[in-house]
């Protein structure tokens, strides 16, 4: 498994990162441990989780994923060989994160989040601690094709970025986290965090975790240049567009036990014209003699600005296919064929 440098840090992370958001909802703890064992055996050294997980978020399951990871790390005795990334939620009215009150990106809430994550993960430090989504009001993912009415409304009590990043500075100095990252951010948001860091107000963001896949290449519009020039690593999530790029949902199919069948959370990938475009990419993969899921993952893993592709699976068979994408030779012919579809269809699922 190829190792790639994380931002400007001295950490090298595997080209594929093991995503964990199904553990505790669709996957049992034993299944989670099997996935981690399999991934590590195939060269993965990078796990991504969040205080929010598992998905869909519920008070009765919140934090369960981190607990599974902590138990596995303790049982395997491999903390020094695993790079663990987790996240703190942004602004949310869901009160179960902070023991009965809404959460914001203020000192008390961030410290509460990190202490709980450290306890669940059974570790003294988190290698990469990320803001899961901005506190300010922005469309989910922060990089839509359209923003509707603009400017967006602003909360009167919006926490200044300078105040938020100063909290992460405390966490680094206290040894609770090693590095700071962002997620679901825009180019403006990333640059504001970098600006505050350059002013000496807090640690530099080393990474950005945003959605990136065949039907959502919005990262390329502005963020790819930012990533390159500022050395902010892209940790790409949703490479299979929540399963729509596996082919299992083609022609309206909804297999029993699939996320789309279990949960009503696929709206991002069920936009007008999305099904037709997803089918076109899936058929393209088959024309190359490659399973759609392998093709879609290989596209992400091999993009020059992707540091690590965050894959997720509910079975070892799915995981094996995702991990195999690191060994696929992505050709100019494949890229030209993908670009031809994108030129006509754009980003139907930003």
CA 262, 263, 266, 270 torsion: positive or negative? positive
Residue 222: name the closest of 189, 179, 195, 193 by CA: 189
Q: Which of 291, 211, 289, 310 is nearest to 247 (CA)?
A: 291
Q: Are strands 177-183 and 126-131 parallel, antiparallel or unpaired?
A: parallel
> How far apart are the C-alpha atoms of 17 and 43, rounded to whole Å?
10
| CA separation for the pair 29, 27 (Å, rounded) | 7
Residue 68: strand, helix, or coil: helix
- Residue 256 CA to residue 254 CA, distance in Å, equals 7
CA nearest 212: which of 297, 292, 294? 297
Q: Are 46 and 99 in contact (CB under 8 A)?
A: no
Contact 53, 97 (CB under 8 A): no
Helix (H, G, I), strand (E, B) or coil at 33: helix
Q: Which of 53, 68, 129, 281 is catalytic?
A: 53
Please state the φ and ψ torsions of residue 121, each to the nearest 5 degrees. -80, -10
Distance of alpha carbon 273 from alpha carbon 251, whole angstroms: 12
Q: CA dist 209 to 129, 184, 240, Å?
A: 11, 6, 15
Half-sphere exposure of 292 (CA within 13 A, CB side): 20
Q: How far apart are CA 322 and CA 313, in angstroms?
A: 8
Is 53 catalytic? The answer is yes
- The helix/strand/coil state of 236 is strand
27, 316 contact by CB (below 8 A): no
Per-residue DSSP letter, 173: H
Instruction: Indicate which residues carry an active-site annotation.
Output: 53
């Amino acid at each position: 498994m190829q190792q790639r440098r994380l931002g400007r840090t001295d950490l090298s992370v595997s080209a594929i990162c093991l995503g964990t958001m199904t553990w505790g909802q669709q996957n049992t703890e034993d299944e989670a441990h099997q996935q981690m064992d399999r991934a590590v055996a195939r060269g993965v050294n990078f796990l991504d989780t969040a205080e929010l997980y598992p998905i869909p978020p519920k008070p009765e399951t919140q934090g369960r994923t981190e607990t599974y990871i902590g138990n596995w790390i303790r049982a395997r005795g491999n903390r020094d060989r695993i790079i663990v990334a987790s996240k703190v939620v942004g602004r949310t009215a869901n009160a179960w994160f902070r023991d009965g009150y809404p959460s914001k990106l203020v000192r008390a809430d961030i410290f509460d989040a990190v202490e709980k994550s450290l306890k669940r993960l059974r570790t003294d430090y988190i290698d990469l601690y990320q803001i899961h989504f901005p506190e300010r009001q922005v469309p989910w993912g922060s990089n839509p094709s359209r923003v509707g009415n603009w400017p967006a409304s602003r909360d009167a009590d919006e926490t200044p970025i300078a105040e938020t990043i100063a909290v992460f500075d405390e966490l680094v100095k206290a040894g609770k986290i090693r590095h700071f990252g962002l997620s679901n951010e825009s180019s403006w948001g990333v640059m504001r965090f970098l600006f505050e860091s350059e002013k000496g107000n807090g640690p530099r963001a080393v990474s950005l975790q945003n959605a990136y896949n065949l039907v959502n290449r919005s990262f390329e519009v502005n963020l790819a240049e930012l990533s390159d020039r500022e050395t902010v690593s892209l940790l790409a999530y949703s490479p299979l567009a929540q399963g729509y790029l596996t082919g299992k949902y083609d022609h309206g199919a909804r297999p029993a036990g699939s996320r789309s069948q279990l949960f009503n959370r696929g709206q991002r990938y069920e936009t007008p014209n999305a099904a037709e475009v997803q089918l076109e990419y899936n058929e393209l993969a088959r024309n190359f003699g490659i399973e759609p899921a392998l093709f879609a993952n290989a596209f992400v893993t091999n993009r020059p600005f992707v540091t690590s592709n965050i894959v997720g699976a509910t079975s070892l068979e799915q995981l094996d296919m995702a991990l195999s994408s690191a060994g696929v030779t992505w050709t100019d012919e494949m890229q030209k064929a993908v670009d031809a579809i994108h030129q006509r269809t754009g980003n139907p699922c930003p």
